[in-house]
Amino acid sequence: MVNESRYADDPFEETHEYREDEYIASDRLPWWARKAPPLLVSGLLHAVLILICAYLITSYISTEKKAAVLNFFTEPKKEQYNHEAERDIFKNREIIAEIMVEDPVIIHDEEKELTKKIPRGKSPDNLTNINLNGDSISAVFGVGGTPAGACGVPWGKGSLKREGGSKETERVVDAALRWLHFHQDKPEGRWDIDDYQRNCKGPGAPCSHMNGGQAPASGFDSGVSGLALLAFLGYGQTHRVGRFKRTVRRGLKFLLSCQDPDTGRFGDAKGESWIYNQALATMAICEAYAVTRDNILKKPAQKAINYIISSQNPGYGWKYEPRDRKNDTSVTGWMVLALKAAKMGKLAVSDSAFKGAIEWFDHVTRVSDGKVGYMRPGDPGAKLAGRPADTFKSLPTMTAVSVLCRIFCGQKRTNKKIQQGVKILMDNLPDYNKPKNDKVNYYYWYYATYAMFQVGGPKWKAWNDAMKKALIKTQRAGRICQDGSWDPIGEWCVVGGRVYATAINALTLEIYYRYARVQRAKNRGF
């Protein structure tokens, strides 16, 4: 009798109920099959299956004409690096942006903020090259939490090709930003200009200081970190969106940690470094606030601007000490750019600050030819202490500063001083004159490139062609730690080093979409 409870939970109960009186051994099988051990039968069956599988695989390989057989005993030949090959460009496609969670941020209605079908440069609602006039420097980035890339649209640098840029210039900028990313101190967010080598890895490490192996000057970390951040911001990267948003976030946190929360000053007001630190760090904080409207940045940005204005000599410009009645064109130029970044973010900026800067530029402009001096009309400019006077050729850097700032402050291109300055710049095109390199001045190339872009036309094309020739082929390339950087061989690189050289050259090559041209038809002034 069958015990029914034995099969109560057996899913095979109906088909596999065993009954002793129903089992009959088959006499129709050959005697050797009935006598063979079960393991032998199993082995034969498995052997047949293996042969069938082997046949199928062999047949499949033989029908594939392009099939390759890897020899595991021979090491594959290493691919030779071709520095002429095109670099990859990584597109920004992120939608959800991370933010600084410790402080509140403004939440934007993304649906309402979609770019409208209106001509570029006619409205703040279309962020592709807003006109730079009055209180509106071109915002070439997306606002709020939407991914934008430069020019306010996802990877839509609409002005790139039109203004003389190309895929090649973008690859160079992208490589520079990658180098800056890998050489940022983590988690502090600082770019340590004299000790960045501790972040060097891989072939060719560490990156060389050049300058006979001497490290750059210390004390400029916050300023050069601000310059590096501006390069990321100019590429459409913020602390909210973009492939480098964590890099930008770390950098902003570092700058905020350097700022006196009461006065708005960045670092100690000692020596000559603090004033450049103040200008560049303020510019970066203000620009980051302008393109994100993140409230965590608004108060620090306004305090930094207030400190700059309070340090200005009444009716003139700036120098190394607050209101010491001394002025120079170099410091004044950076201050004007910081003030314009604040205007872009709708921060409180007095028009008198711009007017004072113009008064200073007028004071140091030589009447005969329009050459602008560093502290006196037409003087040869600042020189590094301890360096022979003929180490580098004298270039019209201060003239470039004046031309750009005059245009940014609303003066027309037909202004006589601007026209004279443009002629001087066109007589001194960028020239990476190897092997002497005594005409290399990244600082001059940066200001003059932005000035000539504002001028536009055939003169801009000629300048742009020379600038690209000087910068693109001289960027370090290869499977080395220096890949994406520029050697710090130009004038002033002894102060800022490789970090400075790479950041300012990336900014120069972002000219095609970072700022728009000031309206030609109107002169709105400040």
Spatial separation of the C-alpha atoms in residues 253 and 376, rounded to whole Å: 39
Two tokens, residue 95: 């939608």
Spatial separation of the C-alpha atoms in residues 103 and 79, rounded to whole Å: 49
Backbone angles phi, psi at 177, to 5 degrees: -65, -35
Residue 35 in domain: no
Task: Enter the DSSP assignment of 496.
Answer: H
Residue 238 in domain: yes
**Cis amide leading into 435 (omega within 30):** yes
Helices (H) and strands (E) counted in the chain, each on its own, are 15, 0
Burial of 519 (0-12, 13-18, 19+ CB in 10 A): middle
CATH label of the domain that carries residue 320: 1.50.10.20
Spatial separation of the C-alpha atoms in residues 438 and 389, rounded to whole Å: 11
Quickly list DSSP for 430-455.
----TTT-TT--HHHHHHHHHHHHHH
Say if residues 501 and 116 touch (Cβ distance below 8 Å). no
User: For 55-109, what is each residue's pLDDT tens digit?
Assistant: 665 555 454 443 333 332 333 344 344 445 555 554 443 323 333 333 333 333 3
pLDDT at position 274, please?
Answer: 84
**Closest CA relative to residue 206, chosen from 188, 194, 220:** 194
Which residues, listed in sequence order, are joined to residue 136 by a DSSP beta bridge?
133
pLDDT at position 209, please?
Answer: 80
Residue 56 in domain: no
Spatial separation of the C-alpha atoms in residues 352 and 315, rounded to whole Å: 8
Q: Long-range contact list for 322-326, CB < 8 A, 24+ apart?
A: 322/269, 326/375
**Closest CA relative to residue 180, chosen from 412, 513, 506, 512:** 506
Residue 106 in domain: no
Using alpha carbons only, what angle is made at residue 418 by residues 141 and 398, rounded to the nearest 5 degrees?
80
C-alpha distances out from residue 505 to 29, 161, 426, 470, 500, Å: 88, 19, 19, 10, 8
Residue 94 in domain: no
Number of domains in the chain: 1
Tokens 């690096």 correspond to what residue? 81
Buried b (16+ CB within 10 A) or exposed e, 342-355: bbbbebebeeebbe
Tokens 């003169």 correspond to what residue? 459
Which residues, listed in sequence order, are joined to residue 372 by a DSSP beta bridge?
365
For residue 326, the enclosing domain spans: 150-514
Residue 36 in domain: no
Quickly list DSSP for 151-168.
GGSTT--TTTTTTT--HH
- Per-position pLDDT tens, the chain of length 526: 434 333 344 332 333 333 333 333 334 445 444 555 665 657 777 777 777 766 665 555 454 443 333 332 333 344 344 445 555 554 443 323 333 333 333 333 323 332 333 333 333 333 333 333 333 333 332 222 222 335 343 334 668 889 999 999 999 999 999 999 999 999 999 999 888 899 999 899 999 887 655 666 678 899 999 999 999 999 999 999 999 999 999 999 999 999 999 999 998 766 677 899 999 999 999 999 999 999 999 999 999 999 999 999 999 999 988 888 899 999 999 999 999 999 999 999 999 999 999 999 999 999 999 999 999 998 887 766 555 556 778 899 999 999 999 999 999 999 999 999 999 999 999 999 888 888 899 999 999 999 999 999 999 999 999 999 999 999 999 999 999 999 998 877 878 899 999 999 999 999 999 988 885 434 444 4
pLDDT at position 521, please?
Answer: 34
Residue 9 in domain: no
User: For 14-42, what is each residue's pLDDT tens digit?
Assistant: 333 333 333 333 344 454 445 556 656 57
pLDDT at position 49, please?
Answer: 76
- Residue 147 CA to its chain's centroid (Å): 15
Residue 115 in domain: no
pLDDT at position 211, please?
Answer: 60
Say if residues 287 and 235 touch (Cβ distance below 8 Å). no
Residues, the chain, total? 526
Burial of 459 (0-12, 13-18, 19+ CB in 10 A): middle
Say if residues 225 and 507 touch (Cβ distance below 8 Å). no
Buried b (16+ CB within 10 A) or exposed e, 144-156: bbbbbbbbbbbbb
